[in-house]
A and B are shown apart, each in its own frame.
Chain A
Amino acid sequence: MTLFISITIAVIFGSAAYLMLKRDLIRVITGMILLGNAANLFIMAAGLRRGRAPVVPSEFETSDSLVQAMTLTAIVISFGVATLVLSLVYRVYDAHHSVDLRRLGSVEAVQSGLDDQPTAHVIQAADDAQDARQDREIAARQGGRW
């Protein structure tokens, strides 16, 4: 059982690390959420006793309730942080029309390059083009929305 849990944690942690190294911010966030889950699983695995659900009174051997309380707290915290980061990425998308880190870097380089007008126009045109493409993609992908 311990081996199985360790391998699961390792796989989740590895996938999370892989995703976090991507350029697409949505993947980075998915990686962050996975990472939190790997940590939660690790806390559960760190419990001192295994048994039935820890509801008292019980005549069975119950599992360690402290790790479950810790995991619940950690889940809530990572939920809150994930919400925050997602809204932040939404702000980035709103400002740059992109969630690709490399693209964001190039936009930033232009912006800090003492307002180089011609280049700024090029970027603006590229932005518009991408905007239009995304519009088409969204329209093609989605039939209905709530």
Chain B
Amino acid sequence: MTIALPLAILWFGALFIALFDGTRKPVGYTAVGLLAAALAATVALGIDVHRHGPKEMGIAGWEAGVGIALRADMLGITFAVVSLVVLTTALWFEVSRDVKARIFPALVMFMGLGLTGLFFTGDAFNFYVFFEISMVAAYVLASYGESPRQLRAALIFIVVNLLGSVLFLVGIAAMYHNTGWLDMDRISVQTPMLEENPVILTATIIFVAFSIKLGLFPFHFWLPAVYTGTRPAVAAILSGALANIGSYGLLRFGADIFPRELREGAWVMLILGSISIVYGGVQAIARHSPNEVLAYSTIGQVGYILIALSIGGEAGYAAAILYAVINALNKTLLFLSASLRGWIAGAAFAVGAFSVAGVPPAGGFFGKMVIFQIGIDDGRPLIVALVFVGGALSFVYMFQLYRARFWINQEADEATTKGALALVVALALAIVLIGVFPEPLLSISREATSILPERAP
């Protein structure tokens, strides 16, 4: 199984789909099929990596360090699989209702391409290039629908995220200047030997860049504006697939390249994470429109990932990966099902809501439980309290939202099609399955941390 296969499917597929009118159903379903094929190829690659260890491909046969390398390890593959699942589901959902713009399916595929590329690349600058491919797709997606409000939200999104991209670029240039390498493996070997100050500065810049993507507390202000005006499928894509860049970037650059700086900055991340959880929860309770509630909920959920990162060590990193995966699925399910009507959609939404609140048997329970367990084991009452407070807050706003959407207000914004319902139900079942049989996901996330250095806390 070669690393190039998922990328090849996505590149040629996106180009092919862009030639045709995406508002037509056959084109849309072809795009869904191509995304699913890329997903299958990625899963096959993951099985291969699981059996035989990480794979590497030097572009044009150059050895790593000289040329650009593609590298597939468990961490990248986990995020790639989750992102592709979210993109496939969201696109399918939109196609089963009605695609409004002819370029939409091609854009979703280009975003999948950018995401898969950046999860598989071993080169810091190449990471930036793929990152920009997916960001440009996201910029256009944010204006999808083209109502004046969406256009304005898209502008805010672009301005803020462009700032993040530029910061990231500056961080890469600084890394290159300090270490003389662009290959991430070489950089991670070099950074511990460098003086501390320039590395701390670089690490901070990169942390800020990814926090902007994630919508972490002080950098969150663009997030509700963008999510509120947009269509459910786009909101699901932004929060379920695009936000993975932030979690993956923090893990890859934080835990892999700057482990020393991550340890020193752990208390900052703990504080920011805690504020995010409380702020997101309180704001979500105060809001009414479903997209707005879910947007603030996203800000809150990101806090858990940051707290898991600040705990560090194998358990902490595994918890961060687990939480990022489950959170992406939760948010996709919630954004999609909140736009549907009927008791089936309500039940699916309830599964997502329980998962966010961390109630068994939904998958979110394990994300919270792992963090909770670490808090108990390490004897850190603050983390234990946070898990409880965050869970309680999310339970309250999720219940409010459920009541407003499925009990009081029964009329639908748009047609609830059978296909859309089936998708939402499938996603809900998947989350319940993760909750009932968490062992595979737990072991995958543990395996994904095996490539990160300094796993001992």
CB of B268 within 8 Å of the partner chain? no
Give Cα A77–Cα B130 distance, bound, in whole angstroms: 11
CB of B176 within 8 Å of the partner chain? yes
Q: Which residues of B contact A43 (CB under 8 A)?
A: 169, 173
Q: Which residues of B contact A38 (CB under 8 A)?
A: 166
Residue of A nearest to B129 (CB): A73
Contact B173 A67 (CB under 8 A): yes
Contact A112 B149 (CB under 8 A): yes
Give Cα A28–Cα B132 distance, bound, in whole angstroms: 20
Contact A42 B129 (CB under 8 A): no
CB of B136 within 8 Å of the partner chain? yes
Q: Which residues of B contact A74 (CB under 8 A)?
A: 128, 169
Give Cα A77–Cα B129 distance, bound, in whole angstroms: 8
**A39-B166, A39-B170, A84-B140 known; A108-B152 Cβ under 8 A:** yes
Q: Which residues of A contact B148 (CB under 8 A)?
A: 92, 95-96, 104, 107-108, 111
Q: Which residues of A contact B396 (CB under 8 A)?
A: none
A90 to chain B, nearest CB (A): 10
A74 to chain B, nearest CB (A): 6
Which of B153-161, B368-376, B442-450 binds A?
B153-161
Q: Which residues of B contact A112 (CB under 8 A)?
A: 149
Interface residues of chain A: helix, strand, loop or mixed (majority): helix
Give Cα A66–Cα B126 distance, bound, in whole angstroms: 13
CB of A3 within 8 Å of the partner chain? no
Convert B117-156 into 0s and 1s, putting 1 for each residue whose CB lies closer than 8 angstroms to a CB of A.
0000000010011001000100110010010110110110
Contact B125 A91 (CB under 8 A): no
Interface residues of chain B: helix, strand, loop or mixed (majority): helix
Q: Which residues of A contact B155 (CB under 8 A)?
A: 25, 28, 85, 88-89, 92
Q: Which residues of B contact A39 (CB under 8 A)?
A: 166, 169-170, 173
Residue numbers of B with Cβ under 8 A of A are 125, 128-129, 132, 136, 139-140, 143, 146, 148-149, 151-152, 154-155, 158-159, 162-163, 166, 169-170, 172-174, 176-177, 180, 182
Give Cα A74–Cα B171 distance, bound, in whole angstroms: 13
B186 to chain A, nearest CB (A): 13
Give Cα A104–Cα B128 distance, bound, in whole angstroms: 33
Give Cα A77–Cα B169 distance, bound, in whole angstroms: 11
Give Cα A39–Cα B129 distance, bound, in whole angstroms: 14
Give Cα A20–Cα B174 distance, bound, in whole angstroms: 24
Convert A98-115 into 0s and 1s, putting 1 for each residue whose CB lies closer than 8 angstroms to a CB of B.
000000110110011000
Give Cα A43–Cα B169 distance, bound, in whole angstroms: 8
**Besides A46-B174, A74-B128, 20 new A-B residue pairs in contact (Cβ under 8 A), listed by A number:** A25-B155, A28-B159, A35-B162, A38-B166, A39-B173, A42-B170, A43-B169, A46-B176, A66-B176, A67-B173, A70-B125, A73-B129, A81-B132, A81-B136, A81-B139, A84-B139, A84-B158, A92-B148, A96-B148, A112-B149
Sample (28) of A-B pairs whose CB atoms are under 8 Å apart? A25-B155, A32-B162, A35-B163, A39-B170, A42-B173, A43-B169, A46-B176, A46-B177, A47-B177, A66-B182, A67-B176, A70-B125, A70-B172, A70-B176, A73-B125, A81-B158, A88-B139, A88-B154, A91-B151, A92-B148, A92-B151, A95-B148, A95-B151, A96-B148, A104-B148, A108-B148, A108-B149, A112-B149
Give Cα A137–Cα B262 distance, bound, in whole angstroms: 56
A115 to chain B, nearest CB (A): 14
CB of A48 within 8 Å of the partner chain? yes
Give Cα A35–Cα B168 distance, bound, in whole angstroms: 12
